[in-house]
């Protein structure tokens, strides 16, 4: 690891000023679970680290709260543990609590932050699957102000997002989950519980009083260069009763958005088949919950 200067930010505005001052030589750091590993491997070598961890005391940046209009706010500096163990999240957004709880080990979850997870853009990590399936938006800040970005537009490629130089993730919002909803998170682990998923699928569905699907969202991680939705699979379910044939068709359509790599976790063709299998399992579970 190359030498660096550490500059703790005293406020969000101060952090943005420091990033603007040092430009490409600076990187923001909060939990550091991903960045420190990259620095050890000399894949990134910032001259300055802008420390954000202390800003977690700000309830906006470090909080996990239900907002006045009913949506969920996850501050960028909230840890994965804070999200997974929040009674508010467990009650109103259990898919989110489940996905954050499935990340790595307790030690990592106690350190890793919401903002760091989003900005790192690892295509195999758990939280983006749940956040995509629930139509989350990311809020980012720069010296020019703030902007909101649908999560479906936030990730571009492997470890690449739409964040501009000098921008910071402030948090993300997740709409309230309506009645008649069901959810599921299915994850295949190649080795141990703390490993990255080979493939994971988050599903959210909503049934009307007659048992007809009125909305569906399916999100995949580990299956493409970025976390992705499966819009054709979603559309195939809407207006249908969740019978075996409809679910099987959606699972096949979900495979069409998969663009995995061959690696030690499996061949691309194997992963594509797994997308179909785990999409079907996730939909079966989600519809079962929606019927309750």
pLDDT at 2: 86
Interatomic CA distance for residues 153 and 258, integer angstroms: 17
Q: Which helix (H) or strand (E) holds 51?
A: strand 48-51
Burial zone of 97 (CB within 10 Å; 0-12 exposed, 13-18 middle, 19+ buried) = buried
User: Which residue in 97, 259, 107, 121 sits closest to 177, CA to CA?
Assistant: 97
Interatomic CA distance for residues 82 and 114, integer angstroms: 10
Across residues 270-290, what is the average pLDDT?
98
- Domain range annotation of the chain: 5-53, 55-174, 181-291
pLDDT at 193: 66
Across residues 45-50, what is the average pLDDT?
97
Interatomic CA distance for residues 29 and 32, integer angstroms: 6
Name the one residue in this structure whose structure tokens are 């009125």: 214
Per residue in 52-99, pLDDT tens? 999 999 999 999 999 999 999 999 999 999 999 999 999 999 999 999
Handedness of CA 159, 190, 232, 101 (dihedral sign): negative
Strand pairing category for 48-51 and 26-29: parallel
Which listed CATH number (3.40.50.920, 3.40.640.10, 3.30.43.10, 3.30.70.640) goes with 5-53? 3.30.43.10
pLDDT at 126: 96
Up-side HSE of residue 248: CA atoms within 13 Å toward CB?
3
Query: What pTM, to 2 d.p., does this model score?
Result: 0.96
Across residues 117-138, what is the average pLDDT?
98
Write down the CATH number for the domain with range 55-174.
3.30.465.10
Q: How confident is the model at residue 190 (pLDDT cuts 50, 70, 90)?
A: confident
Interatomic CA distance for residues 130 and 151, integer angstroms: 11
pLDDT at 122: 96
Q: How confident is the model at residue 41 (pLDDT cuts 50, 70, 90)?
A: very high
Q: How confident is the model at residue 265 (pLDDT cuts 50, 70, 90)?
A: confident
More confident residue, 191 or 119: 119
> 25 is written with which tokens?
């030589």
- pLDDT at position 215 over 70: yes
The fold adopted by the segment(s) 181-291 is Enolase-like; domain 1 (3.30.390)
DSSP letter string, 166-222:
T-EEEEEEEPPPPTTEEEEEEEE-SSSTTSPPSEEEEEEEEE-TTS-EEEEEEEEES
- Terminal CA-to-CA distance of the chain, rounded, Å? 53
């Amino acid at each position: 690891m190359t030498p660096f200067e550490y500059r703790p930010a005293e406020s969000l505005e101060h952090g943005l000023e420091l990033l603007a001052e040092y430009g490409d030589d600076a990187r923001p750091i909060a939990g550091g679970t991903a960045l420190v590993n990259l620095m050890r491997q000399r894949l990134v070598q910032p001259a300055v680290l802008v420390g954000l961890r202390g800003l977690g005391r700000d309830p906006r940046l470090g909080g996990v709260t239900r907002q006045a209009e009913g949506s969920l706010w996850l501050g960028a500096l909230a840890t994965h543990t804070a999200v997974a163990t929040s009674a508010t999240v467990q009650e109103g957004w259990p898919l989110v609590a489940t996905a954050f709880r499935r990340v790595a080990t307790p030690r990592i979850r106690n350190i890793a932050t919401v903002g760091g997870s989003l900005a790192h853009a690892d295509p195999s990590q758990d939280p983006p699957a749940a956040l995509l399936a629930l139509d989350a938006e990311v809020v980012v800040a720069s010296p020019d102000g703030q902007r909101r970005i649908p999560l479906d537009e936030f990730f571009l490629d492997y470890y690449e997002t739409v964040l501009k130089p000098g921008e910071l993730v402030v948090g993300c919002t997740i709409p309230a989950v309506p009645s008649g909803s069901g959810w599921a998170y299915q994850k295949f682990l190649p080795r141990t519980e703390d490993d990255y998923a080979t493939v994971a699928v988050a599903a959210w569905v909503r049934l009307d009083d007659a048992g007809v699907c009125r909305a569906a969202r399916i999100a995949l991680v580990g299956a493409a260069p970025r976390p992705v939705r499966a819009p054709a699979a979603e559309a195939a379910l809407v207006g249908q009763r969740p019978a075996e044939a409809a679910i099987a068709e959606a699972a096949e359509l979900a495979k069409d958005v998969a663009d995995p790599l061959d690696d030690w976790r499996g061949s691309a063709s194997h992963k594509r088949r797994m997308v179909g299998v785990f999409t079907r399992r996730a939909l079966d579970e989600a519809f079962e919950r929606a019927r309750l």
